[in-house]
Amino acid sequence: MAGYTPGETTVHTSVAEIGRVTRALRATARPVVLVPTMGALHEGHLELVRAAQSFPRAVVVVSIFVNPLQFGDEADLDSYPRTLDTDVEKLRELGVELVFAPSVREMYPNGFRTTVSAGPLAEELEGASRPGHFDGALTVCLKLFNVTNCSDAVFGEKDYQQLVLMQQLVTDLNLPVQLHSVPVIRENDGLAMSSRNIRLDDASRQAAVALSAALTLGAHCGDQGVDAVLTGARSVLDSVPGVEVDYLELRDGRLAPLPDDVGEGEARLLVAARVGGVRLLDNVGVILGDLQARREKEIAQAALHAAGLDAELSDEEMAELRRLREQVQEMRSSRRGESGEPRG
């Protein structure tokens, strides 16, 4: 097939050519899995590629395109690293067969006249300081989905708000694309991998670890409630000079504000900060509430279901089960003491 050789890396710069090749591959019932990037590839990006390659019979397309619509600051756009030759070599070593690296003119031949509106969430968190950023990200990804005829696309959880908005795009516009997420890839000291990390000097690089440390402490405070999560994380950030926090927020899994009476459940702790003039993002999942109690309830509920009893256990019933368990443990301990057996 012209434009595609199994086992070799072919770089396409034309919308028409990558479209022709991927349509032909889809016609053979092979999934086409897109990994959208802006280049300057690091190990975090390569993990996304490996995840895409794990799909049975998949043909992986990695796009490399620095999208002007995502940048509100012209200087930031101009300074963004562009390392196409190095990026292609890294992808070749991984066995990626298709790379799509179009020019701005190729992607936007008629300028930016039609764009996606990402909705209210795009104006919060990252969007509050980067107006239009997510409109640009969703616009280019919608174009990439269409141009590459992809069946699946892989995104990292480091840009968690972007991931949520991408799923919103796919859901609301009924796109025939399945999205897949990959957890945050970190350096050995915990710092989330990012193309911006290379702009950190030694002192800033050391200070930047505070972001992941803060999130780790916050996540470990989940059983103590929302205030404890935020207080714990904030204490770490405040203790490190040179970390200028933009926001630190705890939201639900879809980034809606948590209700005031939230008791337990899954949440997402997000932080953005400038360190040495470089803006960094990170996030982590948080389990709110008593995880041990939740696990105990799941086990007890499973036992009831196995016995054919499908009613949900109430909090009062769980309290009674814990009381009975403690009584059994006391009886066993007493018997061991009477028999002279060592107590466990």
User: Which residues does the annotation place in the binding site?
Assistant: 38-45, 70, 156-159, 162, 185, 193-196
Q: CA-to-CA distance for 324 and 155, rounded, in angstroms?
A: 47
Active-site residue flag, 45: yes
Residue 236 DSSP SS3 = helix
Tell me which of 45, 133, 180, 305 is the catalytic residue.
45
For residues 105 and 206, give the distance between their C-alpha atoms in angstroms, rounded to a whole number: 40
H/E element holding 301?
Answer: helix 291-306
DSSP 102-168: --HHHH-TT-S-S-----GGGGSTHHHHSTTHHHHHHHHHHHHHHHHT-SEEEEESTTHHHHHHHHH
Do residues 9 and 89 make contact, with C-beta atoms less than 8 angstroms apart? no
Give the 3-state secondary structure of residue 179. Answer: strand
With the CA atoms of 90, 92, 95 and 96 taken in that order, what torsion angle do they form, in degrees rounded to the nearest 10?
90
Please state the residue numbers annotated as binding site for (R)-pantoate.
70, 162
Q: Which of 170, 140, 145 is nearest to 38 (CA)?
A: 140
Q: Which helix (H) or strand (E) holds 98?
A: strand 98-100
Pairwise CA distance, residues 211 & 248, whole Å: 10
Q: Please list the active-site residues.
A: 45
